[in-house]
Each structure stands twice: as structure tokens, then as C-alpha cells.
């Protein structure tokens, strides 16, 4: 499954260009809020990010899409799988 570009753009706008992760396993309390750059999707740079399914193997809607910095994305259980 992959998100449509419009879905990713809507999630990006909702996130305000910042990581939406709230997972305690990532070492932050509350939301991560790391600043990201839209053009750095998929990049390993400091501003790189991914559009990630909140619930794996579920729908590709904006409600199931979260914007994660690369550090947080790599700590998700479904990373690389």
C-alpha cells in the first residue's frame, strides 16, 4: 500500500512540517516535533522524513497517515518490513 501524493500533502499540512511521532520508545515525551523539509521525503538528511501508516495493512487515508522523521520512522515495528 502506498499513499497518494494528495494524502501525503494533507498529512504534511496537518503536521505543520514537523514529526508527529508520540511513541515513548523514541525517547521523547509528547510529540517529537522535529522540523522537516517537504522536499526531503525519503532522504537520510537531518530534515528527512517518511509518510507512515499508523495502522499497518490498513487503509491509505489521511487519518491513517503520519509524518515521521527518519529517526522515529526507523524505530517503528514495521520499518523495513
Q: Is the pLDDT of residue 74 over 50?
A: yes
Q: What does the pLDDT look like over 14-61, one tens digit per residue? A: 999 999 999 999 999 999 999 999 999 999 999 999 999 999 888 999
Q: How far is CA 20 from CA 3, 26, 43, in A?
A: 17, 12, 17
Q: Is the pLDDT of residue 5 over 60?
A: yes
Please check whether residue 64 is in contact with residue 55, taking contact to mean a CB–CB distance below 8 angstroms.
Answer: yes
Q: Is the pLDDT of residue 81 over 50?
A: no
Q: What is the pLDDT of residue 56?
A: 86
Amino acid at each position: 500500500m502506498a499513499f497518494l501524493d494528495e494524502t501525503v500533502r494533507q498529512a504534511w499540512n496537518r503536521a505543520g512540517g514537523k514529526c508527529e511521532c508520540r511513541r515513548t520508545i523514541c525517547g521523547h515525551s509528547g510529540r517529537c516535533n522535529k522540523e522537516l523539509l517537504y522536499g526531503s521525503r525519503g532522504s537520510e538528511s537531518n530534515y528527512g522524513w517518511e509518510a507512515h501508516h499508523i495502522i499497518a495493512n490498513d487503509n491509505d487515508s489521511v487519518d491513517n497517515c503520519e509524518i515521521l522523521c527518519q529517526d522515529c520512522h526507523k524505530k517503528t515495528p514495521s520499518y523495513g518490513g
